[in-house]
Amino acid sequence: MQSDQELSFLLQEGEGYQIEFKEKLSNFDKEIVAFANSLGGSVFIGVLDTGEIKGIEITNALKSEVIDIAHNCDPSIKIELVAHSKERVLQVKVSEGLDKPYRCRDGFFLRIGPSSQKLKRDEIISLINSSGKIQFDQTLNVSFEYPKDFSREALTEFLKYCGIMTGLSYEDILINLGVAKKEKNKLLFTNAGILFFAKFPQHFFPESYTTVVRYASEDRFSILDKQDIYGNLITQIEQSLNFILRNITVQINTNFPLKQSLARHQNIYEYPVSALREGIINAVMHRDYYYGHSHTYIHIYPDYIDIQNPGGLFSGLTIEDLGKRSVRRNRLIADLLHHAKYIERVGSGFDRMERALQENHNPPLEVQATNFFDIRFYKRLPEISTQHLTPRQAALIRLVQNREIISKKDAVLALNISDDTAIRELNILLQLKLIKKTGKGKAVRYSNNA
């Protein structure tokens, strides 16, 4: 049981993300639902909003009523009662729910700051999705009509990618792939089945397409080429890659003996094709398809390429986990791409991208994850020595030599550049092995690679 001193401290702290004061039990159910849908918290019954103790008679009847309210939520909420008898305050402790989302008779609520707010439809969907309880791609879609909306050509092409030859009927193939289910003599498609095998998937999911744009400059003012790519997910992957390849430069590697056939010449792209392909597949496979306000974007700038998809990191993952842990937002979509030989299903995509970039003399990729997931690829570096550095890069080298150890902030202040520019230039110097990096996060430092 908490001491009176601890109770006094909490009352002085006031209402917040995990503390709620209530004079009596009115609307008590929405408060515990909000805490269960969030990170948990405590409701103090017998306390005014101001933090002043009003007091309440703590009887067995009161405790039973509180327990009944928690039990009648859907699903029921586990609570712990702490009676502060001296102050006549009943504390109801609510842990973060393991079976989200929770609701009471008035709906779904979530703790936002010091108040409990009712969720709208899209917010409820987002909460369900983030809990991992319902997978978008595995959900059956009653709007899809088979065979009217079904593309035989898409399935035939998919089977070619898979290397599968079969005499099964289309229905049996779809059921065996896990993208359809027979119910009452009707074939119902999953959302993944629609994204792969519908005649026009965007009829069902308007934002499930990819826009690829090439710009003349970083400010996006002048567009040189643009394409909105519709169709199934494999079509989007292939056409997106083709768009990029026709919009980036390629060199002929003639570093072969003259007696060798010209057929031995190799194309060297500004960006490794395998890394770009992995980046596009990652965007299509891991995007949040519940997010209906944006689609996948690929931005091609003069010096780098951004691949962006709606939906940040999947719940429980961090950027540091990329390449180390395999967690899939859309398991059925990942399964289908694995069958079609697009992925290995072991979480090695980021390792392959990094390796391809390094072998092609590109700087390391950069990743940002907020509501969107963004992979940035920087253009290939020439195989050069230090005399080919830009004036800014040369200035950074001199800064490192003079100070021995610098931070990103040192580079920003000394060269009067942005954080992004400083990181990009430092990554180039790292790729050229002219400097080395130590530490993590805010403790990262750069020094001579001597």
User: Would you say 226 and 244 are in contact if contact means Cβ atoms under 8 Å apart?
Assistant: no
Reported pTM: 0.61
195-240 pLDDT, tens digit per residue, is 999 999 999 999 999 999 999 988 888 999 999 999 999 999 999 9
pLDDT at 20 over 50: yes
Please report, for the chain, the start and end positions of each structural domain, with discontinuous segments joined by +: 4-130, 137-203, 210-378, 386-448
Stretch 287-314: mean pLDDT = 87
pLDDT at 260 over 50: no
pLDDT of residue 111: 87
H-run or E-run covering 60: helix 60-71
403-436 in b/e burial notation, b at 16+ Cβ within 10 A? eeebbeebbbebbebeeeebbbbbbbbbbbebbe
Q: Round the average pLDDT of the chain to a whole number and report it.
A: 85
Beta bridge partners of 372: 310
H-run or E-run covering 41: strand 40-45
pLDDT of residue 316: 55
What is the rounded CA–CA span in Å between residue 421 and residue 412? 8
pLDDT at 2 over 50: no
CATH number, domain 386-448, options 2.40.170.20, 3.10.20.600, 1.10.10.10, 3.10.20.30: 1.10.10.10
What is the rounded CA–CA span in Å between residue 277 and residue 230? 17
Secondary structure, 3-state, 90-118: EEEEEECCCCCCCEECCEEEEEECCEEEE
CATH topology of domain 4-130: 3.30.950
User: Would you say 38 and 119 are in contact if contact means Cβ atoms under 8 Å apart?
Assistant: no
pLDDT of residue 325: 57
What is the rounded CA–CA span in Å between residue 393 and residue 181? 59
384-410 pLDDT, tens digit per residue, is 555 567 778 888 888 888 788 999 999
Angle CA(154)–CA(159)–CA(161) in degrees, nearest 5?
Answer: 95
pLDDT of residue 262: 42
User: Would you say 289 and 208 are in contact if contact means Cβ atoms under 8 Å apart?
Assistant: yes
pLDDT of residue 274: 93
Helix (H, G, I), strand (E, B) or coil at 374: strand
pLDDT at 25 over 70: yes
pLDDT of residue 9: 65
What is the rounded CA–CA span in Å between residue 332 and residue 137? 6
What is the rounded CA–CA span in Å between residue 26 and residue 69? 11
Stretch 338-350: mean pLDDT = 77
97-142 pLDDT, tens digit per residue, is 888 889 999 999 988 777 888 988 777 777 766 665 567 888 899 9
pLDDT of residue 256: 44
Stretch 421-430: mean pLDDT = 89
Q: Which two tokens stand for residue 261?
A: 């056939």
28-47 pLDDT, tens digit per residue, is 999 999 999 887 889 999 99
Residue 9: phi, psi to the nearest 5?
-65, -45
Of 413 and 349, the structure prediction assigns the larger pLDDT to 413
CATH architecture, domain defined by 210-378: 2-Layer Sandwich (3.30)
Grade residue 314 by pLDDT with cuts at 50, 70 and 90: low
Q: Which two tokens stand for residue 403?
A: 């100070």
Residue 261: phi, psi to the nearest 5?
-65, 150
